[in-house]
Amino acid sequence: MNTQHLPNRSRRLPWLAGTLLTLLTSSLFFSPTQPVANADQAGLGSYTTTLPAGAKVPDDFNGNPVSPKRTANVTGAMPTNDWWSSLGWQRFPGNPYSENMTALPLIVKAKATGLGVTFPTIPAISTGSPNYIGEFHYNASEDLNLGLVGLNSPDAKVDGYSDWTVTAYWNGGGTLRATFGHGMPFVYLTKSGGDALISAAAPPSVWTGAGTNALGITVNGHHYGIFAPTGTTWSQSGNNFQSNLAGKDYYSVAVLPDNSVATFNFFKSRAYAFVTNTTASWSYDQASATLNTTFSATTVAKEGSNTNTVLGLYRHHAINSSTALTNYSYTTARGQIRLRDGNSFTTAMRFNGVLPTLPDAGDYNRTTLNNHLNDVAFEASHFGGADTYYTGKALLRLANLIPIAEQLGNTNARNALITAVRNRLQEWFTASANDTNGQFYYNSNWGTVIGYPASFGSDTELNDHHFHYGYYIYAAAILAQYDPNWALDSNWGSMVKLLINDAANISTATDPRFPRLRTFDIYEGHSWASGHAGFGAGNNHESSSEAMMFNSAVLLWGANTGNTQLRDLGIFMYTHETHAIEQYWFNVDNAVFPAGFTANNNHPAVGMVWGDGGSYATWFSANPEMIHGINFLPFHGGSLYLGRNPAYVNKNYSQMRNNIGGAERYWLDVIWQFQAFGDAATAATKFDTVAYTPEEGETKAHTYHWIRNLKQLGSIDTSITANTPTYAVFNKNGVRTYVAWNPTANPLTVTFSNGVVLNSIPARSMARSTGTTPPPTATPVNPTATPVLPTATPVNPTATPVNPTATPVLPTATPVAGCSAVSLDANSYYRVTARHSGKALDVADVSSADGANVHQWGYVGGLNQQWRFESVGSNYFKVTARHSGKALDVAGGTTATGNGVNIHQWPYGNTTNQQWCLRDVGSGYYAIIARHSGKALDVADASTADGGNVHQWDYVGATNQQWQLTKIDAGGNTLHVIDGAAQNVAGTLSLSAGAGANTDSIPSAGGANRDGTPTNALVYTISGLTRTYNSQATQFKLFVDSNTAVGNGVQARISYDWTGDGSYDRTETYNYFPTDPVAGFEQYSQTAGLKSSSGAWANLSNGRVRIEIWNAIGNGTASVRTSATSDQGQQSTITLPFN
């Protein structure tokens, strides 16, 4: 039984490790006593432009009011809540420059002498325990200071900004401007006054370009290129590099992925295209439910004609983009950032819909649900805390119940809830003299709206505006469903838009009162909470789920009021933030959190994301329930993104229990509602049997309705989309339920991507169906403009809606006669194409997660559409997806032999439900047959649409069961080292990356000197190459590790057989690479130097390439990393000098 006091959610005493700054916030509760001098009208509402008596405004750490720190070039509403906000907001009186700004891959900091720059690659990790905090941070330790001789500025200011860049300005002993941004390895600088001056924090090593205008240097193990105009030189004196820039005023500096000359030359070719602007534009393709976003940079060529720059794609970009990328990448707090050679890239993300509420599909006892509903609808007082945050929570608590009352036919409760929500919103939406009920104030100094009474620093630090205001907007969106007139701009809609624009203004051109997208980081794809970002770890964000509530609220307000621009803004933020949360809060693919942080498997999530890392923590509690739960609450119709990966839900919940050391103790309803995405039956049992106190923003009615709905509906099905954004699809044991909300004033027909249709959904109603094209079961809304507050009269809940179930007619099964003997290249990948539709076998959403759905999709060359067939004997194959290395799997295991069982991906376990044979059906097509069941891979309902689901079914000779395998010509000149080599056993080189990282053991040199002579070498080869020599040189990267062995040296020899006749025509032996005695891979490359070579270059004509790897010296064994995917990084490769 939960009888303990629930902790207050206060951000005043953060539960963070001591490695971070001590952080304090202030809040103020007040009752204004002076009249409001200016109240600006917004429809029937108003806000004040006169600061209420006793109210506080943005200030510094000592409580002194502050103004934006900017030059005359920056006018209008000042951006806050950004990664660079400490540059424009002096939080600490003794620091007029900035705190660390996490541009990533660089971390930078303004100082009196210029811009400090670093590229941290090794995280500082506190793994924690169930009793204390765990966190990881890529802590900044300066490598370089970028400035000019004599610079000693009294401050640094914002001189310009764009969607993901900022320009800093110094003036004192000369002037300096530096532009830097997210995903940009370059810093672009212009100056006046003294010579350009770059000072290293440690003795630098110059490895290329000495005595020229462009240098490659290494400082603290990090590699940089420094680029001055042609015609000048950099002179070195100790740790300093100085240049007069040949009378020009610009130079650039880039962090380099490695210290090869080829890499340096590539960056040099891009160093003079200075980025002057960045912008993101988005569009929602409603027919395909796809959000397309283009990220573009504008450049100016400082010299030469090249205007191309490089852009670094964060993980949530890269997995949703087909844009061609280079092989360059950086390790950061957001995982690998991969480089694009070009000024733009586009992401395409599937949008799986939101609803205003769940449908009336639960197996709840309707009398019980009504009783819980009436307990809240007719309680003595709905509103406790008077501040913006707790008022907002109370508003959503009530608004969530309005549609449930409508579903139950409880008009009395519905009208009482509508009245309560409407009245409280209108109180806050009206500014008046001596206002004690809450009001909003516009601060023109910063360009923001502040609600008073404020809380959690929403006034003094401009914290959390999207959190607070999202609750108001969501409640207003629900109210708009029932009272559309109330939502008109001429009535109360203008005040709702005021709050939307404060946190998420689309354009300063249309509303100059506010900056563009204040709290949403366009490039990182998620929100930031702190207004000033005055922390050593950069900005931070705790409750990702409250940010998603704001996004859902904007979307629903737009949909329910017919404002497509706001609806699509909500979709843009919601979709990007969904992917960002999955990667940066939940680490669903295990590709972001550093290994040391997850070593004990007690951190499947963080409670807070910081600019330089993440913390298993909150601002208000160290209890695991709250660390997890703060990224779940509040639950609403837009919370369905939390259920996209049921396997992860169960993992998250399980690890929370492990960290507690038992069952959940706090926020039980919040935890159960999340658990219901993975195990609704258990959550329902807990609700029925455990006594608890609802979380302050929850009710028993809403929790009961939520859990029981998911128990009946099943999991979120992301493989099916609809041509309206207010929809959802659920799947329970292979049976789908289709749900759509019609927010318009006219009937609406909704078509799903697999052909299912919900016909003529009535205005402002929800419909659902199980099956193909049955008529919908609609729940209409009675949009009474002025509901009458009734007395409490419970409804006799006898009505049970009928849900039509379609019974498809299926042909009689034709047994498979047997499997064909088919020879496939186990080192290649194949496109698998359905005969009836021409679409490819595809892992949904490019997901790497266990259980990710497999469906069909138009072929775009994605790695999630490429499959490797490896023989397991008896004509059966293991079939693995290239992007994840996971196997094509019949869900449910070896006993799942029935028709209609779903196909997904799963780690290969050598079970018969993961083994497939090919039956030749003629004309180049095959039936693909599961070994355990004898059933065929089948596109459900013979759908020809993108997203058509794939399951197993008796083979009937239909074209939706016949597949063509097309070998993918990888092309290119990069060979990947694939695992499997051992002494006297050859491994392979492949034009395709491996399926997952492995290692091969390199035998010891036995204490002998084997320098130059391959001995007990690992050998890897590839044949059948036809390429034209391009006059370049061989390059390679081998990631090797001698663990703790002392005195080892790994060596490589690369050989070319031009015609594949078995005689090697050219051989290159490289100097050995002395490995260190520290566990962890090191990069051995051609920069070690060529020891010897023989044979002239020629073209490859059906040629062969071989690499031999051995220990040249030492007594210990070593290992070479093999088969790594691009996402895993540290890929051992050879880059051939051929086209």
Contact residues for 237 (Cβ-Cβ < 8 A; gap 6+): none
Q: Report how far residue 930's alpha carbon sits from residue 936's, in angstroms, rounded to the nearest whole number.
A: 6
Q: Which of 387, 546, 850, 889 is catalytic?
A: 546
Q: What is the CA radius of gyration of the chain?
A: 31
Q: Is the dihedral of CA 200, 203, 207, 212 positive or negative?
A: positive
Select which of 387, 542, 717, 954 is catalytic.
Answer: 542
CB 311 within 8 A of CB 183: yes
**Edge-to-edge strands, sheet with 186-192:** 156-161, 165-171, 175-181, 186-192, 250-256, 222-227, 214-219, 205-208
For the chain, how many helices (H) and strands (E)?
15, 64
Spatial neighbors of 872 by CB under 8 A, at least 6 apart, are 878, 910, 915
542 flagged as catalytic? yes
Neighbours of 691 (CB within 10 A): 8
Q: Report the residue count for the chain.
A: 1139
For 148, 495, 725, 1022, the CA distances from 564, given in Å and listed in that order, are 50, 18, 11, 54
Which single residue is written with the structure tokens 């502040």? 450
Sign of CA dihedral 93, 96, 100, 104: positive
**Angle of CA points 125, 126, 129, to nearest 5°:** 145
* Of residues 1038, 1033, 1067, the one with CA closest to residue 1130: 1038
| Tally of CB atoms within 10 A around 273 | 24
Cβ burial of 614 (10 Å; 0-12, 13-18, 19+) is: buried
d(CA 432, CA 423): 15
Cα–Cα distance, 541 to 866 (Å, whole number): 37
List for the chain the helix, strand, coil content (%; round to 5): 20, 30, 50
Q: What residue type is 1018 in one-letter code?
A: L
**For residue 511, which of 448, 463, 569, 450 has the smallest C-alpha distance?**
448
Q: How far is CA 606 from the centre of its chain?
A: 14
Phi, psi of 479 (to 5 degrees): -60, -35
| Beta bridge partners of residue 777, listed in sequence order | 768
Residue 546 annotated as catalytic: yes
In single-letter form, the type of residue at position 168 comes to: A
Decide if 781 contacts 775 (C-beta within 8 A): no
Three-state helix/strand/coil letters over 704-768: HHHHHHHHHHCEECCCCCECCCCEEEEEECCEEEEEEEECCCCCEEEEECCCCEEEEECCCEEEE
Burial class (CB in 10 A: 0-12, 13-18, 19+), 933: buried
Annotated active-site residue in 60, 461, 464, 568: 464
Three-class DSSP labels, 521-567:
ECCCCEECCCCCCCCCCCCEECCHHHHHHHHHHHHHHHHHHCCHHHH
CA angle 16, 17, 18 (to 5 degrees): 120
105: number of Cβ within 10 Å: 26
Residues in Cβ contact with 305 at an 8 Å cutoff, skipping those fewer than 6 apart? none
The answer to whether the beta carbons of residues 1006 and 1022 sit under 8 Å apart is: no
Active site residues: 464, 542, 546
